[in-house]
Every structure is written in C-alpha cells, then in structure tokens.
Amino acid sequence: MDVRQEAERWLAADPDESTRAELRRLLDAGDEAALAARFGARLEFGTAGIRGPLGAGPARMNRLVVRRVTAGLAARLAREAGSRDRGVVVGHDARHGSAAFAEDVARVLAGAGLRVHRLPGLSPTPLVAFSVRHLGAAAGVQITASHNPAADNGYKVYWGDGAQIVAPLDSEISAAIDAAGDPGDVRLAAPGDERVRDVGGEVTAAYLDAALSLPLHPQHRDLRIVYTPLHGVAAAVAGELLARAGFADVTVVAEQAEPDPDFPTVAFPNPEQAGALDLAVAMARHRDADLVLANDPDGDRIAAAVPDGAGGWRVLSGDEIGCLLAEWLLVSGESGPDRVVATTVVSSSLLSRIAAAHAVGYAETLTGFKWLAKAALEAQAAGGRMVLAYEQALGAMCGTVVMDKDGMSAALVLADAAATLKADGRRLDDVGDDLARRHGVHATAGRSLRLEGPQGPERVATVLRRLREDAPRAVEGVAVVAIADHEAGTRTYADGRPAEPLTTPPTPLIGMTLADGSRLQVRPSGTEPLLKLYVEVVEPVAPGEPVAVARGRADRRLAALTEAFVALTG
C-alpha cells in the first residue's frame, strides 16, 4: 500500500475534524514529503509511553494513535490478575487535544471491560501517579507532554506500583499495540458508560494529606513566596498544599497563572530553559520576596530561585535543589540507619558524599525517574526508606508520597526549609555553602543539542560511536582516566587496569572521567531529537576562602569544559 492509500484509509477512520482537514489538505496538494513524514513511520511506545508533535498519521499524536495505544495497553492489562476490577486511572493536562485524548482512553478501556477512575478536569501528573496506589488501580494513564514545546502531546503510563513502566513491560505493551490491528476498529464504550467514574475530589484530598505528612516545621511560616505554574495545571493543587501548610504570603505570577496550551510568555515551557523564570524573578524583586518556586506545565518538576545576597536573584540548578532537599531532609527529618537517598548517573556526585557524611544508603541509577522509583521500591522491599530521590533535570521525589517526581510536594519542602532557616537568620544558599566547604563546590551544567530531521538519529549514533571507538586522551589539557560505556556495560581505564562491569542496565550513554575528578557524559534524549551533554567539575574550598571565590573558579572551569565537550561532539 502506498502512502496516499494509507492516508486515505486513515482519513476514513479519523474521528477528529482538525486532523482530517490537515490530511485532506496534504492529499489535495500532493505533498508527498509531508505525507511520508506522517506515514513513513510511527510513534514508538517506550518506557516514557509515547510523545510527539500533534498531527495526522501514525507518526503524530492524534486520537487514532491514542486509541490504538490504549487498545494495546488494555490487552496487556488483561494478563494481570484482577485488572478489570482494579481498573485504570486516567487524567490529562491542558495541552491541545488532551481532553479528547483522555476521553478516548477512558472509552477504549471501558470498551475492553476495564473500570476507569477518571480524574475530571485538569490534573497534574503526580496526582495520577499518586492515585494509582491510593485506589489500588492496575495502571494509570496521564495525557501530557510535560515540558515539551506547545506543538507536542504525549501518553504516559504508570503500573500498579505507581511507578513509570520499565522493561520488559514497555516491550510487552508495544507488542500488544502492534497486535491491536486497525485503530479504526478499536471498540469504544458509549459515553456515560457505568464502568467510568469520576474520582477527582477524594484523591486530591488524599494527596494533600499525604504530602502534608512529610517532615515539616509548621511553627516557622514567615516567608514571602512568588509562585508560577508556567501556564500549566499545578497551581490549584500546589496553592492548596502551601496554604494548608500555613504559607499565607504566596503570590502567583498573574501572566502565567491560568493553563494555556500555547505557553505565550515563554519560548519553551521548561523551567530549565534560560528566561523561563524571568517573570517570577521580576515579581520577586518587586515584592521583596524570599523565594521563587515554579512547576513545569504538568507539575512534576520543581524550579526555584533565591536572593543572591547582593541584591540580585539566582536560579538554582536541579542538582542544587536535589542536594539541598537531601541535606535538609536528612538533617531535619526522621533519623535512622534505614534511610536511603538516590540520584542518576548524570546528576552531581555531591549526593554520594552527602549520603556518606550521614551514613545512609545511596543508590545511583540510569537517567529517568522510572529507575529512581524502582530504587525506592527495592529499598522498601529490603526494609529501607527512601528519603529523597532526584535527577538533575529538576525532578525530585520527597519520601514516597508519589512514586515518581513530584514538583508540588518538593515545592512544599523547599518552602518549609526556607522558612525554618529564615527563622534562624539563615538562607537556603547558606546550606549550599556549608556543603561546598565540606565536600567542595560541585558545579554542573547541561547542554542539549537539537538534531531535527531524518538524519538526527544517525547523527546521534555517530557521536556515540566515535566517543566509544576513538575517545580523546585529554579534554582541556586534563587527561581522560576512565571511559564508562553503558551500552556495553563496562568501564575501561587509561592506565591499563582491567575493565570493570557496570551495574546499570544497557543504555546509550558514554561517560568520561578526567584526572581532576571532572565528568563528561553524553546520551540521546528518550523523548525528543536531542543529544544531551552533562558536565561536572569539583573545586575544593580552601580554609578561610569565601565559597564565592571557589564557585567562581568552578564556573569558569565548567564553562571551558562544556564548550570543549560540545566541540568533541562535532
């Protein structure tokens, strides 16, 4: 069947007026390239579900794709004991198409005989993850593309443990999707089917109670906060959480307060991007605030900015937020030898030093919060207690309220820490300075190289292959002493020592360690056409030396090393 015939078949089955119109325009115009881009491949289901640009055809996010994926998910769930009665939680954010996609998910699942616990209205992603465990559901589906550009949407799956799916579940669901047949033939339950019930109010209340059970210090609440949801869906729940915790002085950035799928005030709706917090920081200056807090559009990431002590403001990195949260919870929370903290291989090595200083367990996983959730579940099974897990991309899990990153509960803990420190005449930055004096300044940076077009995947593979087969002997004049190839599962040494096996599952990630302790790592993004670079330098703080001086040295070294690493990728 040629691409035009395939497009005509799709057009006949498509229930969405907008994608039908898009496809008809392309067919009438004879735009073979655009048709091939939509029908030459399909969105692949992986451990993050599916995510991609909106549009017609199997290579875009649309209602037929959502129906086909849900039919596959339902088929895989049929193998789980009791899944029909346990049901599936379904939620969605405010992106274009999200409400219609979530309705299709609910109707396909109900048509397959499964109960559906529908979160009505707009739902932050952590609320879906929480609801799965709270309701004892067999799985959860959230329609979201998180912090992707406005043109994207996605489909995220949680399993019965409340965590994102991991291998081999992703492959099993993908195989079930392949076997689902023509998406136009997927059975749908009628609107109003009795197997679909709304559960919004009860699970939101339960989530708030669970988050408020984290170690908090309610006697200290003198804190002026500026908050932004970046045009997303977290404002209502995060605002209620802060209010119930006793934070009365919270100002929401008006221009970004309401959900808006076009994200008009930011270039990208990602709080990692430079400029994303500009409006919030300007408001904080105007109000003489103590803390800026931000969530990304679906509420699972946390960003923050603090006064720099010199009249300005400084946006904290994901590593700084994660290590501050870990230090705070280990110092001020419940004690005990069963405590564990965790992070990913591309995050700062500082957390390992914090864990050693507190004599608590430490786990290091591959990138992706699905692996950190797995580490938390493994810790629980072994009698341990996950205090904090984080990844450098602004994801943090405080305790196990949610078995995934949760920017709303993380915002609460950061606010609690800032208020408690303020009552003692200190700031969040002071905790960071204390860590630097004890363990050195750990400066980290990331760089994403976007590789659009059909050659993008091959360019990514070429970079990784070159670094694997012809690694540099030195970077910026410092010798490379070890290469970690996570695809091959080995770490090799320049001094001729025997290679050692890595403990992480195979993944396309290359890491280089330099003689001065610096680390350079590179991997492809799992959800976007990006090559992601990670750089870390460690700069000791001399006795009596201001931390700011050592931080300046670290920042200069970090900038030079980052540019050298970018050049290495070609």
- Catalytic-labelled residue, pool 98, 146, 174, 349: 146
Tokens encoding 372: 């950190």
Residue 459 in 3-state DSSP? Answer: helix
Give CA–CA dist 481/492, Å, rounded.
9
Q: Where are the alpha helices (DSSP H) in 516-570?
A: 547-569
Report the Cα 435 to chain-centroid distance in Å.
25
Dihedral (CA of 324, 327, 331, 336) sign: positive
* Cβ burial, residue 274 (10 Å; 0-12/13-18/19+): exposed
Tokens encoding 265: 């005030």
CB 139 within 8 A of CB 157: yes
146 given a catalytic annotation: yes
Residue 35 in 3-state DSSP? Answer: helix
DSSP label at residue 197: E
Give CA–CA dist 259/84, Å, rounded.
33
Nearest to 266 by CA among 275, 257, 255: 275
> In this structure, are strands 139-143 and 88-92 parallel, antiparallel, or unpaired?
parallel
Give CA–CA dist 489/483, Å, rounded.
11
Dihedral (CA of 264, 128, 55, 275) sign: positive
Beta strands in 401-544 (DSSP E): 441-450, 474-475, 478-485, 490-493, 500-501, 510-514, 519-524, 530-539
Give CA–CA dist 372/395, Å, rounded.
10
> In this structure, are strands 116-118 and 139-143 parallel, antiparallel, or unpaired?
unpaired
CB 534 within 8 A of CB 519: yes
Give CA–CA dist 289/305, Å, rounded.
10
Give CA–CA dist 68/66, Å, rounded.
6
Q: Which residues contact 163 (CB under 8 A, 6 or more apart)?
A: 129, 370, 373, 374, 376, 377, 403, 404
Helix axes 407-423, 428-439, angle to 10 degrees: 90
Q: Which residues contact 234 (CB under 8 A, 6 or more apart)?
A: 124, 295, 297, 298, 299, 407, 408
Tokens encoding 541: 């703080």
Q: How many CA atoms lie within 13 A of 121 on its CB side?
A: 13
Q: Where are the alpha helices (DSSP H) in 30-97?
A: 32-39, 63-77, 83-86
CB 165 within 8 A of CB 377: no
Q: Which residue has the tokens 């291998």?
A: 167
Q: Catalytic residue positions? A: 146
